[in-house]
A = this chain, B = another copy of it.
């Protein structure tokens, strides 16, 4: 099973530790193609490749090869929105995870989209159950 995990890089790294926790859990079920998203050394400069063109094309190839897209959408990110849009348009299965207690406003393009699953959560145990259900494991 190939899983593409999406989280904010240049939009802000305040949730990086949480991304890493989700990635570690996802790795028990399959290959997480974007494992570097949880790397605490990766800053909001987003220098996870030699050029932006390289980063885009590598990530898109991973996204296209993935069986599932799992996105943590609490930190606002143009790139995560773009990846969700491409995945939805190409008919891929998409799960978005959001923490309402942060008080952030999630886009109506995510909350109102009929072609993805949105899960509101507050603790990691809920995430684990939702991920198992979504992946069918």
Kindly supply a per-residue 1/0 record for chain A positions 76-90, scoring 1 wherever the CB is within 8 Å of any chain B CB and 0 otherwise.
111111111111111
Min Cβ gap A3→B in Å is 18
In the complex, what residue of chain B is closest to A12 when comparing beta carbons? Answer: B76
**Complex Cα gap A54–B109 (Å):** 10
* A65-96 with Cβ < 8 A to chain B: 73, 76-90
Q: Tell me which residues across on chain B come within 8 A of A105, comparing CB atoms.
A: 10-11, 44-46
**Complex Cα gap A78–B90 (Å):** 18
Q: Tell me which residues across on chain B come within 8 A of A78, comparing CB atoms.
A: 73, 76-78, 80-81, 84, 106-107, 109-110
* A99-113 with Cβ < 8 A to chain B: 105-113
Total identical chains: 2
* Beta-carbon contact of A109 and B56 below 8 Å: yes
**Complex Cα gap A83–B113 (Å):** 12
* Beta-carbon contact of A107 and B76 below 8 Å: no
Q: Tell me which residues across on chain B come within 8 A of A113, comparing CB atoms.
A: 56, 82
**Complex Cα gap A106–B114 (Å):** 28
Give A contacts to B, CB under 8 Å.
Answer: 9-11, 44-46, 49, 51-57, 59, 73, 76-90, 105-114
